[in-house]
Structure 1
Amino acid sequence: MNISPSLMTMDLDQFKEQITFLNDHVDSFHIDIMDGHFVPNLSLSPWFIEQTRKLTNKEMSAHLMVTDPSFWVQQLIDIRCEVICMPAERVNGIAFRLIDQIHDAGLKAGIVLNPETPVSEILPYIDLLDKVTVMTVDPGFAGQRFLVNMLDKITELRQLREEHGYQYRIEMDGSTNKKHWKVIHDAKPDIYVIGRSGLFNLADNIHSSWEMMVTEFEQETGQKFA
């Protein structure tokens, strides 16, 4: 199980405790960066990634929800953020340039598909991607309605990868919790972004929350969490 906790939803009062614990249990951290324009909210920043880096050496994956990805991509390159995921809706005309810029810096390039955006939108450059993130909620706020039909994109992306030998990993982001574990797991994403409803709000400490998340996953899917 490749779990990528969404740090936007963590309890900042327990920042050090939560990051230290998760560092031993996850492969990556998911950092939402919002500019208040692409989505009507403000969230984390490259500075936050730098602070988190003091407590962990795990992969950082930045999810850009911004109107000007070029501005943010260079900042994330400067701090060596390992994975930079850009909104498909904002890279038309500059996608190849930005992907090359990220790869030339020795980092990984990803694309995020919002619910209304089809996989066909990214076909011109899909072979260059290291990750494709499928949003299963409307972006910008935690706790949005789960859009189950978006899981079909995961199936489509997996079929394209198998047919053409693409190397991208498939990530799903949105409402990963007890209510949806079964359908999400059946869709077979490579990476599960998990936030408030599926992890951080399950108990008053990260140790108990993690144990509850594992229990819920195993009860709902009938599979061992491994």
Structure 2
Amino acid sequence: MTNVKERRIQLSPSLMTMDLDQFKEEITFLDGKVNSYHVDIMDGHFVPNITLSPWFIEQVRKVSSLPLSAHMMVTDAPVWVKKLIDVKCDYICFPSEVANGVAFSMIDDIHAAGLKAGVVLNPETQIDIIKPYIDVIDKITVMTIDPGFAGQKFLAGTLSKIVELRRIREESDLSYEIEMDGSTNLKHWKMISDANPDVYVIGRSGLFGLTDNIEDSWSQMVEEYEQTTGYRFDNGKYQSRR
């Protein structure tokens, strides 16, 4: 094949949306296919929902050695950072909206523990809020839906942040990963792919809820991705068919 454009992306299933009755089976199947797992930590205050916890991360560790990324939706971020450091979560991502005055100390604590620090931009939050520490962050998560619940409306305007973050990274010679989170599915694969994030968080509408078993759901997700984006899966690379 000549003139093939190649690029790598990372897939990070959102464990909040998996079938917990088939927890071990689904993790075992996905381990050979994805790059990391996305774990939502909600305190019932920052968003009106309570979900997974640092304890859940410990349970995943028993069946998988892949990196785990905690997406905190909490008001008292430093307290939860300490909890996640204790369980050695690979990526600890705090909400930018509550980080003023504590961002550098949280990042320093995470890095001192040998872990990676991330920050989350909710739909209404602009990139400027993280500019003071963008050069010391390891990952930036762009929310493409409102936080707190799966299955919410996709906000296409948020994709411009991914494009802008890629431009900033290239021009400033930075190394953070760009992750997108929210409604990654058949309807939106093409526009998300065009924005070109590094990490795709995939949940119920794009993977776990497609069929009643993970093997068929994975096959359907791959087919939908390939049909809508023009890229094909190939041992971790995504090669253009064009």
Q: How does 1:60-99 map to 2 (within 5 A)?
A: 60-99=68-107
Unaligned runs of 5+ in 2: 1-8, 238-242
**Alpha-carbon offset, residue 222 of structure 1:** 1.4
Residue 194 of structure 2 is matched in structure 1 by: 186
Q: Which among 5, 10, 14 is matched to residue 18 of structure 2?
A: 10
Secondary structure of 1:224's aligned partner: strand
How many angstroms apart in 2 are the aligned matches of 1:222 and 1:155?
19
Name the amino acid aligned to 2:196.
K
**Alpha-carbon offset, residue 185 of structure 1:** 0.2
Residue 41 of structure 1 is matched in structure 2 by: 49
Deviation readout 1:137-192 (Å, 9 max, x if unpaired): 00000000000000000011000000001110000000000000000000000000
**Alpha-carbon offset, residue 218 of structure 1:** 0.4
Deviation readout 1:2-59 (Å, 9 max, x if unpaired): 1100000000111110010111111100000000000000000000000011000000
Identity %: 65
Name the amino acid aligned to 1:68.
D
**Alpha-carbon offset, residue 104 of structure 1:** 0.6
Q: Which among 103, 113, 119 is matched to residue 111 of structure 2?
A: 103
Scaled by the length of structure 1, what TM-score is found? 0.99
Deviation readout 1:123-147 (Å, 9 max, x if unpaired): 0000000000000000000000000
How many angstroms apart in 1 are the aligned matches of 2:68 and 2:190?
27
Unaligned runs of 5+ in 1: none
**Alpha-carbon offset, residue 96 of structure 1:** 0.5
Residue 222 of structure 2 is matched in structure 1 by: 214
Q: How does 1:52-201 map to 2 (within 5 A)?
A: 52-201=60-209
Scaled by the length of structure 2, what TM-score is found? 0.93
**Alpha-carbon offset, residue 223 of structure 1:** 1.1
Number of residue equivalences:
226
Structure 1 stretches of 4+ moved >4 Å? none
Name the amino acid aligned to 1:147.
L
Name the amino acid aligned to 1:47.
W
Secondary structure of 1:80's aligned partner: coil
Name the amino acid aligned to 1:9.
T
Name the amino acid aligned to 1:133.
T
Name the amino acid aligned to 2:109.
Q
* Aligned CA-pair RMSD: 0.5
How many angstroms apart in 2 are the aligned matches of 1:215 and 1:153?
27
